[in-house]
A = this chain, B = another copy of it.
Amino acid sequence: MRQPDFTLTAGPTMASHRVLAALGSPLIYDYDPAFLERFLDTERMLAEAYRTSGDVVMMQGEAVLGLEAAARGLVAPGMRCLNLVSGVYAAWFGDWLREYGAEVVEVRVPYDEAIDPAAVADALDRDGPFALVAIVHSETPSGVENPLGEIAPLAHAHGALMLADVVSSLGGTELAIDDWHIDLAVAGPQKCLAGPPGMSLVAVSARAWEAMEANPAAPRGSFLSLLDWKHRWIDGGRVAFPYTPSVSDVNGVHAALAELLEDGLEASIAQHDLAARATRAGVLGLGLELWPRSESYAAHCVTAVRMPAGIGVPALLRHVRERYGVMLSGGYGELKEKLVRLGHMGPAARSLNPLVAVSALGRGLADLGISVDVGAGAQATMEVLSGGPR
Say how far A183's CB is from chain B's closest CB, in angstroms.
Answer: 21
- The one of B1, B14, B31, B356 that contacts A27, using a Cβ cutoff of 8 Å: B14
Q: Are A223 and B20 in contact (CB under 8 A)?
A: no
Known: A5-B350, A34-B1, A379-B374. A198 touches B197 (CB 8 A): no
Q: Does A385 contact B (CB under 8 A)?
A: yes
Q: Are A243 and B20 in contact (CB under 8 A)?
A: no
Residue of B nearest to A358 (CB): B378
- Choose the segment among A117-125, A130-138, A287-295, A325-333 that binds chain B (4+ C-beta atoms closer than 8 Å): A325-333
* Alpha-carbon gap, A350 to B326, bound state (A): 11
- The one of B6, B197, B323 that contacts A386, using a Cβ cutoff of 8 Å: B323
* Alpha-carbon gap, A246 to B11, bound state (A): 11
- The one of B327, B352, B376 that contacts A359, using a Cβ cutoff of 8 Å: B352
Q: Which of A24-70 contact B (CB under 8 A)?
A: 24-34, 37, 60-62, 64-65, 68
Q: Does A211 contact B (CB under 8 A)?
A: no
Q: Are A190 and B64 in contact (CB under 8 A)?
A: no
Q: Which of A349-390 contact B (CB under 8 A)?
A: 350-353, 355-356, 359-360, 362-363, 366-367, 374-379, 382-383, 385-386, 388
* Alpha-carbon gap, A190 to B247, bound state (A): 10
* Alpha-carbon gap, A351 to B359, bound state (A): 11
Q: Are A30 and B351 in contact (CB under 8 A)?
A: no
Give the interface size bracket for A toward B: 35 or more
Q: Which of A2, A24, A34 has the most CB of B within 10 A?
A: A24
Q: Does A77 contact B (CB under 8 A)?
A: no
B residues less than 8 Å from A355 (CB atoms): 355-356, 359, 378
Q: Are A196 and B27 in contact (CB under 8 A)?
A: yes
B residues less than 8 Å from A325 (CB atoms): 350-352
* Alpha-carbon gap, A31 to B22, bound state (A): 24
B residues less than 8 Å from A28 (CB atoms): 3-4, 7, 12, 14, 327
Q: Does A233 contact B (CB under 8 A)?
A: no
B residues less than 8 Å from A279 (CB atoms): none
B residues less than 8 Å from A6 (CB atoms): 351-352
Q: A3-B17, A33-B321, A62-B243 are in contact. List 19 more A-B contacts (CB 8 A).
A: A2-B34, A5-B351, A9-B29, A12-B29, A12-B30, A20-B26, A27-B194, A29-B327, A64-B223, A64-B243, A197-B245, A198-B246, A222-B224, A248-B249, A323-B385, A323-B386, A326-B351, A352-B356, A367-B386
Binding site for B on A (CB under 8 A): 1-7, 9, 11-15, 17, 19-34, 37, 60-62, 64-65, 68, 95-96, 99, 190, 194, 196-198, 221-224, 243-249, 252, 318, 321, 323-327, 329, 347, 350-353, 355-356, 359-360, 362-363, 366-367, 374-379, 382-383, 385-386, 388
